[in-house]
Amino acid sequence: MPKPLRLGVNIDHVATVRNARGSAYPDPLRAARLAEQAGADGITAHLREDRRHIRDADIDALRSGIDIPLNFEMAATPEMQEIALRHLPHACCIVPEKREEVTTEGGLDVAGDLSRLTDYVGPLVEAGIRVSMFIGHDPAQIEASAKIGAQVIELHTGHFCDMHYAGDFAARDAELEALKAGAAYADSLGLEVHAGHGLTYETVEPIAEMKQIRELNIGHFLISEAIFVGLGPAIVHMRKLMDAARG
């Protein structure tokens, strides 16, 4: 019996639309509640250093306004650690963050920052937060994530999705094999395995098929699709594809 696969819905880009006009709408909390009703298992929100989408007040509102777990995506900075320890979300996903990037472009270099990240993650884990490292499939990064005390890794599926849409199917399939090997290796080390970035209806199935993966975090595509069909139906359809792939 395969383990269930959770869907975390990332609502960052509801805030992107709101901020584009400096208005009070659309409200990310309303989107989160709708996602919850449509069957999301968790809500993900990334408070970036430059607050380009989610803002501090959104985190306050999400923390008290939803009944499903909140996954707080953040860079490994002292400011974000303080905010996480104040809010105590269910989970924190540590991501690399460069001011100039459009989205989270690459995985975190955990192996290259071992001692700082060990010190960084410790207080979060002690506070009862599930800490996840957003990394590529490199075995050295997976081992380093286990070594620093993270309980979870989130595998970066962005390159796999980009290769699919670029029509480079040989590279895409090689990337998929590497992600599969990474998921199996992380699982063998006792890490819980999540995946996310760039996933769409077209790309979700081979990722959802991997039995070690316990959670997918999906945002941009669902918010995009919501423009045409509404957020609830977009989430319901994504869930259906995930469940079908899982068998």
Q: How far is the CB of 11 from ligand PXP (least distance, A)?
A: 10
Contact call for residue 41 and ligand PXP (CB under 6 A)? no
Catalytic residue at 237?
no
What are the structure tokens assigned to 7, written together?
């869907």
**Contact 197/102 with Cβ under 8 angstroms?**
no
Residues 170-199 interacting with ligand PXP (rule: CB under 6 A): 196-199
Q: How far is the CB of 1 from ligand PXP (least distance, A)?
A: 27
Whose structure tokens read 């993966």?
213
Q: Is 10 annotated as a binding residue?
A: yes
Catalytic residue at 197?
yes
Q: Is 71 annotated as a binding residue?
A: no
Out of 36, 137, 197, 215, which one is annotated catalytic? 197
- Interatomic CA distance for residues 110 and 147, integer angstroms: 10
What are the structure tokens assigned to 34, written together?
């709708």
Catalytic residue at 46?
yes
Instruction: For 129-196, give the DSSP string.
Output: -EEEEEE-S-HHHHHHHHHTT-SEEEEE-HHHHHHHHHT-HHHHHHHHHHHHHHHHHHHHTT-EEEEE
Out of 36, 46, 87, 164, which one is annotated catalytic? 46
Please choose, from the candidates 68, 137, 148, the residue with its C-alpha nearest in 3D space to the C-alpha of residue 114. 148
Q: Out of 46, 180, 214, 239, which residue is the one contacting ligand PXP (CB under 6 A)?
A: 46
Out of 73, 154, 192, 225, which one is annotated catalytic? 73
Give the residues lining the site for ligand PXP (CB under 6 A).
10, 12, 46, 73, 93, 95, 103-104, 134, 154, 196-199, 217-221
Indicate the annotated binding residues: 10, 12-13, 21, 48, 53, 103, 198, 219-220
